[in-house]
A and B are shown apart, each in its own frame.
Chain A
């Protein structure tokens, strides 16, 4: 997929003035965080589970080579096959070869972010194979030829009316005048439409929420049951997963399952949690004849040894999106590529290049809610700052912004100078503000104040209040001498 991340500012502006999107985002902001809080509240061990889940992934990342080899042995022992792919191109080629060998015409797909990352649908279509997304949200956006706008709710940006319009435009064989004004009717239509594809598909492609080294299998979580139909009905099951999806044992997988849905939708567990381990066994009445795992690196190994390593713990629950004030203002498409929100702003510069994704690490208030809700305790704000530093060092961003930051840095790291400049400035701003105590416009800050008011400083600065209090408490102590002591 072509990235529009470089145009984030325009994307964001368009998103902010799209009333349908804003209604959808407001609903998201009301729903997911409250449900997450309720689910966590019902589980007194929730914080301990987050610690355990974090520890599991940390251990895996320290031993990833050994776990991947263990996983490979088990996949082969189960009668499956593993395909090591360094990048998107190798993965696309491997998948196409499997599909061709199976004589595939129709491929059902269960939602996979890695599939979006390698743009597998376009590749299959170009080679005469029809990919059919089966998750309802993914199906809708496939018809609209849009990327997902949320990790777990890909069509969150659309209204019911837009979905109805899409179905009318795509399902031309159905009567035009049919009623599509209830969500039930849309679901029934999609279900009826997709059932024949489930049955006709030669290959089923799924992602993997986890790969289990112990069993050589993958975990899939869905609420619709589409992943299970996708891996059970066709003759061939292809799992596409990136290398960091490994967990050691079934017990470890259970720990992560316990935090995944609670963080994502606020469910205790998704309706379907499936552990697939290879092709059908002798005597089985259903299941695929072939089981393939596409094991994709695509830049992950490079992250493993560096300052963005913690990002590889991510389980794609979407909690950081749901709690991010920026995501909630602009939605997922503004980020311009496959991922979005805080996790996307950290991951995408590594995947599509720092220059293309240069705006994303800056699209954050660093409020810290993402880190506070991340089930894997990923320090997202720290990593956003790390990207900002790299961008600054690489000379990215406007000259004005970079000079401004350098000036700021040199002042802010000299407390005496900082105080000498800021104290009169703050006092002056406080005096200049009108009765509303807000500035509609400020010189040099036009871009900032065009969308919001600048609150006027109130009263004295913290430093002078502190000094005043110290003087009252200990009239003869020298404040600067005290603060210099360690």
Chain B
């Protein structure tokens, strides 16, 4: 079925396309794919570093995320414990098996219990890093992989993202360039991870009488900790 349909569909499409473009069109497509030309990139994010950090915080807060900025990696457990206590959330963390998150001295705060894995069952809090953060819209860029399961940012009712400010970029295009530069092995062609998730604020819906409600299927709360420490 599929093979015959494929031929028929492609033939119909080709018949409609060819008179408009003339020729096979492959050269134009290859050129376009190779160029990866960006469209109009918003000026609001093409600003100096500190401005980008301030913009990220403002944009994330506009969409009901909470943001804390700390100097050192050692300050992260306190910030997280404080946030959870303020909102009366069980301090049981499920962390991504990520080397950066492992470098955080969680044990300094004995109230925090820490486990690693994907997000599941009754995990109250999922803790992730982020591949990047985009100032333009206060967006986190999560990239799936062995050290970053997608479910941690989706299944638990609270998502905590710990992001070194060094990961902060201006625009979406910069995050694509950074991802492409992260070749799996030197010399290997770029392969998309299974899932790239942009997250901008906590989950929401307005499907009942257009009333905005947080926490539809994804997390009800998003807490972003920005860490200034170099090499983080």
Segment at the interface with A among B68-76, B79-87, B138-146: B138-146
Q: Which residue of B lies closest to A281 (CB)?
A: B194
**CB–CB A224/B216 < 8 A:** yes
Partner of B42, one of A45, A153, A217: A45
Does A213 sit at the interface, judged by CB under 8 A? yes
Output the residue of B14, B29, B97, B211 with the most chain A CB within 10 A.
B29
Specify which of B17, B39, B192, B208 is in contact with A251 (CB 8 Å cutoff).
B39
Report if A232 contacts B (CB, 8 A): yes
User: B111 at interface (Cβ–Cβ under 8 A)?
Assistant: no
CB–CB A248/B32 < 8 A = yes
Contact of A284 with B39 in the complex, beta carbons under 8 Å: no
Quick check: A66 and B192 within 8 Å, CB to CB?
no
Interface members, chain A 287-308 (any B CB < 8 Å): 287, 295, 297, 301-302, 304-305
How far in angstroms is the closest Cβ of chain B from A81?
Answer: 9
A284 touches B14 (CB 8 A): no
Pair A186/B208 contact, Cβ less than 8 Å: yes
Count B-side interface residues using an 8 Å CB cutoff: 78
Contact with A along B31-54 (1 / 0, CB 8 A): 011001111111110000000000
Is A155 positioned at the interface, with any CB of B under 8 Å from its CB?
Answer: yes
Q: Which of B172, B201, B210 contacts A271 (CB 8 A)?
A: B201
* Cα-based distance from A14 to B123 in the complex (angstroms): 49
Q: Does A27 have its Cβ within 8 Å of any Cβ on chain B?
A: yes
Give every chain B residue within 8 A of A198 (Cβ-Cβ): 217
User: In the complex, how many angstroms separate the beta carbon of B98 from the nearest chain A beta carbon?
Assistant: 11
Does B8 reach chain A (CB closer than 8 Å)? yes
Chain B positions within 8 Å of A56 at CB level: 39
A59 to B203, CA, bound (A): 35
Q: Which of A52, A90, A255, A304 contacts B1 (CB 8 A)?
A: A90
Q: Are A287 and B144 in contact (CB under 8 A)?
A: yes
Please judge, given known A-B contacts A43-B42, A66-B24, A243-B9, whether A183 and B33 are in contact too, CB under 8 Å.
no
Is there contact, CB below 8 Å, between B42 and A254? no
Given known contacts A45-B42, A66-B29, A228 and B207 CB-to-CB distance under 8 angstroms: no
Report the minimal beta-carbon distance from A68 to chain B, rounded to whole angstroms. Answer: 7
User: B20 at interface (Cβ–Cβ under 8 A)?
Assistant: yes
Contact with A63, one of B29, B197, B217 (Cβ below 8 angstroms): B29
Q: Taking CB as reference atom, which chain A residue is nearest B204? A: A223
Q: Are B151 and A232 in contact (CB under 8 A)?
A: yes
Residue A449 at the chain B interface, CB threshold 8 Å: no
- A268 pairs with B176, CB closer than 8 A: no
Q: Which residues of A contact B215 (CB under 8 A)?
A: 187, 191
From known contacts A94-B2, A285-B117, infer whether A271 and B203 are also in contact, taking CB-CB under 8 Å. yes
Q: Does A159 make an interface contact (CB < 8 A)?
A: yes
Does A411 interact with chain B (Cβ within 8 Å)?
no
Given contacts A134-B217, A153-B207, is CB(A232)–CB(B43) below 8 Å? Answer: no
- Residue B206 is within 8 A (CB to CB) of chain A in the complex: yes
Query: Contacts of A44 on B, CB cut-off 8 Å?
Result: 42-44
- A254-267 toward B: CB 8 Å interface, digit per residue (1/0)? 11011000000101
B198 at the interface (CB under 8 A from A): yes
Return A351 CB to nearest CB of chain B, in Å: 16
Whether B117 lies near A83 (C-beta < 8 A) is no
Say how far B138's CB is from chain A's closest CB, in angstroms.
Answer: 8
B181 lies within 8 A of chain A by Cβ: no
- B218 at the A/B interface (Cβ < 8 Å)? yes
Instruction: Establish whether residues A66 and B40, one from each chain, have CB atoms under 8 Å apart when the complex forms.
Output: no
Distance in Å: Cβ of A349 to nearest Cβ of chain B: 19
A-B contact list, 23 entries, CB within 8 Å: A28-B210, A62-B21, A70-B29, A78-B191, A153-B207, A159-B209, A191-B216, A194-B217, A198-B217, A223-B205, A224-B217, A224-B218, A250-B36, A254-B173, A268-B200, A269-B137, A271-B63, A271-B199, A272-B203, A274-B197, A279-B194, A284-B145, A301-B13
Chain A: residues with CB nearer than 8 A to chain B? 24, 27-28, 31, 43-45, 48-49, 52-53, 56, 59, 61-70, 78, 83-86, 90, 93-94, 134-137, 140, 153-156, 158-160, 163, 183-184, 186-187, 191, 194, 198, 213-217, 223-226, 228-229, 231-233, 243, 248-252, 254-255, 257-258, 265, 267-281, 283-287, 295, 297, 301-302, 304-305
